[in-house]
Amino acid sequence: MVTELNTGTGVIVVAAGRGTRMGSKESKQYLMLQDKPIVIHTLEVFERHPLITEIVLVTGAQDVERCLSWIHEYGITKKIKVIPGGAERQHSVYQGLLHISTPWVLVHDGVRPFVTEQQVTSCYEAAVNHGASVLAVPVKDTVKQVDGQGWVTATPDRRSLWAIQTPQAFRRSDLIRAHGMAEAEGFTGTDDSMLIERLGIPVMVVEGSYTNIKITTPDDLDYAEFVRMKKEQKGEDMT
């Protein structure tokens, strides 16, 4: 049960990366998934979510205008800002924080279009009840720790390993403080929860779904087409 009233929840959708693993001239977040750009599919999840009152889309400076055009074209009407990001993902998130006013904020990858309304809600509720949360799934495969020469040095217990996804949810004030400390110390994290952890704030894991994929390679895009087709065949709500 949520123990704190929601007075507004915002989401920062990060879509400023150029990416090279897709092997295309176009950035992965702007590739078409069936009938519209991937990033629009992602924005539509939050457009329809009743908890979300503000959206900040962080993109490349050269892509702001076309994203604004798509937002209009595809009928996204919720309060939304489109801003240019920074050189690194961490800098882009911080820019997003400066343009959002809600006390609670979610950070989500622009190329994760299959997150569900319930997953967003569960992530938010866990953050309100515990201070911070991340969506994640248990690791299926055995994971090996390997040294620089390619030798296995350890085999962590798979039962303790989770693959972290987005959204991740935090108090906005905590996340701003975490980013400020990271900047002052020259630290770059691989996700926002890592910055929060450095403040000593515990992060609750919320189980997500293996279909909440991050589309970064051609194989991912093929799988995304398959997932969307299957959901449509089952008549599932794509939000």
Distances, alpha carbon 153 to alpha carbons 146, 148, 149, 159, 178, in Å: 5, 10, 10, 18, 32
Domains, the chain: 9-229 (3.90.550.10)
pTM of the predicted structure, to 2 decimals: 0.91
- According to the model, what pLDDT value does residue 16 have? 87
Q: What is the pLDDT of residue 188?
A: 96
pLDDT of residue 83: 98
Q: pLDDT tens for the chain, 239 residues: list them.
A: 444 444 689 999 999 876 555 545 667 899 998 889 999 999 999 999 999 999 999 999 999 999 999 999 999 999 999 999 998 999 999 999 999 999 999 999 999 999 999 999 999 999 999 999 999 999 999 999 999 999 999 999 999 999 999 999 999 999 999 999 999 999 999 999 999 999 999 999 999 999 999 998 888 888 888 888 877 767 665 44
